[in-house]
Structure 1
Amino acid sequence: MRVIDNEADEPLTINILPMIDVIFAILAFFIISTLFLTRAEGFSVDLPDAESSESQQEAFITVTIEANGDISIEKEPVALDDLTETVQERVGDSSEALVTVQADETIDYGQVIAVMDKLRMVEGASLGMATQQPAPAETSPAETSQ
């Protein structure tokens, strides 16, 4: 039995519009996912009163930046330009020394970066940021009852 087809034969075509949509969706997925894979280089800094701060080894040298912008090493005032040489003298021949930066939380971020930049020039020094752990929360009588 023969089927008679009265419709005109259309040439076969490949509709690429859905394929373009799929390719753009995949491209957008890869672009967005790679944004989350980038890692910010720099110091892992805990801000003052950070609950996640941990105690580290004892600081070899402590650099303090006060609220008025004064810089001191072990409570001795030092100028920003002299900071690298002063710390290098204190580190001496030590192969590894921890330099802790204690900055007032109200100090300008730019000044903290300037101090850290000078300290990075000291060979054998690793930097740390000082934070305070918050006081333990007081428990209310309702929480302590059994």
Structure 2
Amino acid sequence: MPLKVTQDENLNLNLTPMIDVVFLLVIFFMVATKFSESERNIELELPQVAAAGDAAAPAKPRNITVTADGATLLDGVEVTLGKLTSTLAEAVRTTSDVQVVINGDARTPFQAVAAALAACREARVEDLGITVELAAKAGGRLR
């Protein structure tokens, strides 16, 4: 069965949706320009600080290391648990954002790491992390 192809001589392209989109874009850019002009015209006196580095510098984390024999080191210096708690509590009192990272040896008894965690909790340290190492996978199982 042959198909009849007829050409419509009155082919019209509907421009209404395109005109709507153009008007919406014009309105958007007009409004956006008004906002940016009003923000630029606001007279504002910014507060001043003594040194820019003091306000913006992130806090350096304190490192607690628990060795294989159970010794506790704070930033490389051996301390007792009581001294660890008092030092961290003093740091929390003087600075609000004390960060602590605990590095525990895999061969140490967990009790030593738990004691360091308890000292941090007693000193009210809120930003606390523990370092671990990813184990190598062998045949789908961790060694």
TM range (shorter): 0.3 to 0.5
Higher RCO (C-alpha under 8 Å, 6+ residues apart): 1
Q: In terms of Rg, which structure is larger?
A: 2
Instruction: Tell me the TM-score normalized by structure 2.
Output: 0.48
TM-score (norm 1): 0.47
Structure (1/2) with the larger helix percentage: 2
